[in-house]
């Protein structure tokens, strides 16, 4: 079988080469609505959650959108991997894939200095082909369902699941007769 050679520029790139910095931070006590306003003002999809100078995790636009607007960021954020700007970009792509995360916090000397997101890696052509949601085309936390052979993001997964089960029953020839 002929396959296109996998292009991965990540072997030669570090996190520092592809990351977005400085990270725009938000306090965990602020609301999901505050977070969305800040993201939209800055044109970004992820915020660094920081209490004082201590990085706690990341907030994804998707999670902020699906939360009640008054919900504090601390309830909506996610724990993130911490990486160094000197780490290989390919290694970080593996971490994000394995953890279904859409971003990692980049730290120097224990201080967060930025975020590296799936979008950064995709733009830098790192990590080969990234799965996209079969419904909304997002690359935020896409999980590939082996049974369906297609991936969906966590936000869409709930709405597509019933259909998959129906198809599975048809495939197996299981009926109620």
Q: Which residues bind Zn ion (CB under 5 A)?
A: 60, 102, 133, 135-136, 138, 140, 153, 156
Report yes or no: 151 and 168 within 8 Å, Cβ to Cβ: no
Closer residue to Zn ion (CB): 66 or 169: 66
Closer residue to Zn ion (CB): 7 or 60: 60
Give min distance, CB of 90 to Zn ion, in A.
Answer: 20
Closer residue to Zn ion (CB): 15 or 103: 103
Q: What stretches of 3-156 adopt beta strand conformation (E)?
A: 25-26, 46-51, 54-60, 82-83, 103-108, 111-117, 142-145, 150-153
Report yes or no: 106 and 85 within 8 Å, Cβ to Cβ: yes
Give min distance, CB of 134 to Zn ion, in A.
Answer: 8
Give min distance, CB of 101 to Zn ion, in A.
Answer: 8
Give min distance, CB of 172 to Zn ion, in A.
Answer: 27
Closer residue to Zn ion (CB): 110 or 151: 151
Give dist(CA 115, CA 22) in Å, integer: 8
Nearest residue to 103 (alpha-carbon basis) of 130, 134, 140, 131: 140
Say which residues have a Cβ less than 8 Å from residue 54's Cβ, sequence separation at least 6: none
Closer residue to Zn ion (CB): 1 or 41: 41
Nearest residue to 125 (alpha-carbon basis) of 48, 32, 5, 18: 18
Give min distance, CB of 78 to Zn ion, in A.
Answer: 9
């Amino acid at each position: 079988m002929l396959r296109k050679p996998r292009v991965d520029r990540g072997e030669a790139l570090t996190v520092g080469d592809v990351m977005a910095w400085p990270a725009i931070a938000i306090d965990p006590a602020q609301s999901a609505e505050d977070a969305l306003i800040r993201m939209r003002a800055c044109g970004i999809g992820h915020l660094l959650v920081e209490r004082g100078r201590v990085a706690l995790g990341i907030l994804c636009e998707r999670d902020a959108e699906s939360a009640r607007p008054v919900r504090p960021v601390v309830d909506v954020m996610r724990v993130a991997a911490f990486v160094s700007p000197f780490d290989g970009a390919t290694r970080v792509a593996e971490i994000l894939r394995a953890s279904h995360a859409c971003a990692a916090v980049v730290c120097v000397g224990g201080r967060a200095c930025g975020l590296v997101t799936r979008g950064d890696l995709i733009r830098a052509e790192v990590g080969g082909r990234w799965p996209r949601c079969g419904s909304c085309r997002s690359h935020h936390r896409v999980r590939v369902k082996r049974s369906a052979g297609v991936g969906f993001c966590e936000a869409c997964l709930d709405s597509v699941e019933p259909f998959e089960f129906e198809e599975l029953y048809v495939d197996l020839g299981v009926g109620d007769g």
